Structure 1
Amino acid sequence: MKKIWGYWRKKDLLPFSSSIIPGTDRGHHGTNFKPGYHIRDKDLGEIHKAASVGSVAKTHQVLLLGKNGLNDKDKMNRTALHLACACGHAAVVAFLLERKCLLNLCDAENKTALMKAVECQEEECATLLLEHGADPNVVDVCGNTALHYAVLFQNVSLAAKLFSYDANIEARNQDDLTPLLLGIRERKRQIVEFLVKKEANIHAVDKMKRTALMLAINYECMDVVSLLLQRGADIFSQDVFGRTAEEYAVISGFKIQKEF
């Protein structure tokens, strides 16, 4: 017996009781989330100012004069490496790495420089960090890894780079979302397809026991629904309310047809 899912929109979807997108600074929702740092001179040491404007010469001078140490943190717990990565200053990043700066120090949100590079879509900086041994599996205050941020911004190239350095494809954040589940919730179809091809667990569930298939139905990701079904997604699994994917389809206004 083969199940074929046809679908037609009958009514607005019933909203999930979803939390704010995990890992977004200061409680912003995904559409309003702005990556990077709010930079104010009064929060910065001399080395942080130099790194944030991309001056290798000034960064070097600050170190030579002993005004700051290589790994000193500013008032927001950021190192020069954090600021250089967030601002996309690869030359400063390379200089700091040559001086053997510490790679995995965390800022006030427990984000490493690698996380900031990925969050800010600074692929050259991220690549330099990974090549020098940065850990892709550190988690921030919301439990997100660098891979979660690559998914949030649908950067397939960065995700592939992270995988080449052993990023955990099944890492879970505080909402129990794997990168795949986060990608589906954020309607990032391209990277979801990439993750499925990389053998992400399509049977993973979030903290409400909602499967990838349930999320795809709720968020109208019909290409993803078809992909998950082709990969053998379980339509009978139940969430904490006892609902199956088939029931979510009915609630959401999608018609299920069966072909024998």
Structure 2
Amino acid sequence: MEFLLSHGANINEKYQNSVTPLCLTLENKNQKLALELIELNADISLTNLSGESYLHIATRENCKMIVETLISRGLNVNAKDNKGGSPLHIATRMNFNDIMKILLKNGADPNAICKNDTTPLYIAAENDSKEQTELLKSYGADINSKLKNGINALFLASENNNVEASQFLISEGIDVKLIDKSGKNVLHYAAGKNSFNVINLFVSHGVNINAKDMYEKTPLHYAAINDCTKAVESLLSHGAAVNIKNKIWKTPLHYASERKYKDIPSFRFTKDNNLMARTIEKSSETVEVLLSHGADIYAKDKFGKTAYYYAQQCGALHIYNLIITKFWLE
């Protein structure tokens, strides 16, 4: 290395995309060579085209020794890339908890915000990592900070069915009954993603199971819209109103009968008829659950349409037959 440098080699030579020898070395996780380049006075203040510092890169590649070295040489622990991301965002996202500890001990901001409005705590909530959330909280992370749409970290944990992170956030005093700017609570988010494991937790902490958003949709509406059968079962077991109507008078059964079948015609023209059958069978489970809990097959929406009508229009014959059977049994 020293021989090359003594004969005119540029230690900071930039190649395509502003990649330097030190950058390449880090991306190959060669910490020994990277340390040698740093000792030979490679310019550690350089950034790549994405605005990443060497500390970002060393963090992403899990080069713990280099992270410590760069910090000891004065590199900004809170430097941001072009998207506003800090090394702590990267370490949290990639579950590099040891590097998180190093960064936080050296002044990393646990409340740093990316351009997409995300803090490390939101990432930890998505990861369902109690260790990360505890660590960030111990260094001053604001658990009740909100994104621009009005949600807190608990909403992200709820979408990902993350029980452990949700329990910790609630135990630390996060606002479990928070409503976002569209009127949704955490149950709306959980139900729409089939995150059935967290539903019991939220209900036990007093979250309104029949709360309506700006469109007057309840969590059960969102579970039905997205064919989230287990979420439907969980909500109904906790007393969700099965025949509740939204702004255009649609019940969960209306959505369960129409929404899921728009993609089925694409299967009709394939050779895999079994695939089509499985799709119909799976999608009908939500309807069966709703019917078994007393869903009203006669309920009409604002346009005078019943669930029966939507099933017929969408070609969902199995749903059509389920409703007809219910009709004759009554």
- Determine if contact 1:55/1:92 at 8 Å carries over to the other structure: no
C-alpha separation between the residues in 1 aligned to 2:223 and 2:80? Answer: 42
Aligned to 2:126: 152
C-alpha separation between the residues in 2 aligned to 1:47 and 1:177? Answer: 40
Equivalent residue runs for 1:98-247 within 5 Å: 98-235=72-209, 237-245=211-219
Superposed displacement of residue 152, structure 1: 1.9
Cα 1:170–1:67 shift into 2, 3 Å? same
Letter in 1 for 2:114: D
Structure 2 gaps of 5+ residues are: 1-14, 240-330
Superposed displacement of residue 93, structure 1: 0.5
Aligned to 2:22: 47
The alignment yields a C-alpha RMSD, in angstroms, of: 2.7
Structure 1 gaps of 5+ residues are: 1-40
Cα 1:45–1:217 shift into 2, 3 Å? same
DSSP-derived class of the 2:203 partner: helix
Aligned to 2:54: 80
DSSP-derived class of the 2:188 partner: helix
Q: Does 1:71 align with 2:14?
A: no
Cα 1:60–1:233 shift into 2, 3 Å? same
C-alpha separation between the residues in 1 aligned to 2:139 and 2:174? Answer: 16
Cα 1:247–1:46 shift into 2, 3 Å? closer
Superposed displacement of residue 257, structure 1: 6.5
Superposed displacement of residue 246, structure 1: 6.6
- Determine if contact 2:159/2:195 at 8 Å carries over to the other structure: no
C-alpha separation between the residues in 2 aligned to 1:136 and 1:198? Answer: 16
Letter in 2 for 1:197: S
Superposed displacement of residue 76, structure 1: 1.7
Aligned residues: 218
C-alpha separation between the residues in 2 aligned to 1:157 and 1:215? Answer: 24
Stretch of structure 1 that moved more, 114-123 or 247-256: 247-256
C-alpha separation between the residues in 2 aligned to 1:71 and 1:174? Answer: 33
- Determine if contact 1:105/1:112 at 8 Å carries over to the other structure: yes
Cα 1:249–1:89 shift into 2, 3 Å? closer
C-alpha separation between the residues in 1 aligned to 2:223 and 2:46? Answer: 53
Aligned to 2:63: 89
Aligned to 1:32: none
Cα 1:242–1:90 shift into 2, 3 Å? same
C-alpha separation between the residues in 2 aligned to 1:49 and 1:189? Answer: 39
- Summarize deviations over 1:18-56 as a string: whole Å, max 9, x none: xxxxxxxxxxxxxxxxxxxxxxx7332233233334445
- Determine if contact 2:23/2:54 at 8 Å carries over to the other structure: yes
DSSP-derived class of the 1:117 partner: helix
Superposed displacement of residue 116, structure 1: 0.7
DSSP-derived class of the 1:215 partner: helix
Q: Percent identity?
A: 20
* Greater fraction of residues in helix: 2
Superposed displacement of residue 245, structure 1: 4.6
Stretch of structure 1 that moved more, 58-67 or 237-246: 58-67
DSSP-derived class of the 2:85 partner: coil
Higher relative contact order (Cα pairs below 8 Å, separated by 6+ residues) = 1
- Determine if contact 1:202/1:233 at 8 Å carries over to the other structure: yes
Higher Cα Rg: structure 1 or 2?
2
Superposed displacement of residue 87, structure 1: 0.7
C-alpha separation between the residues in 1 aligned to 2:127 and 2:196? Answer: 20
C-alpha separation between the residues in 1 aligned to 2:224 and 2:84? Answer: 41
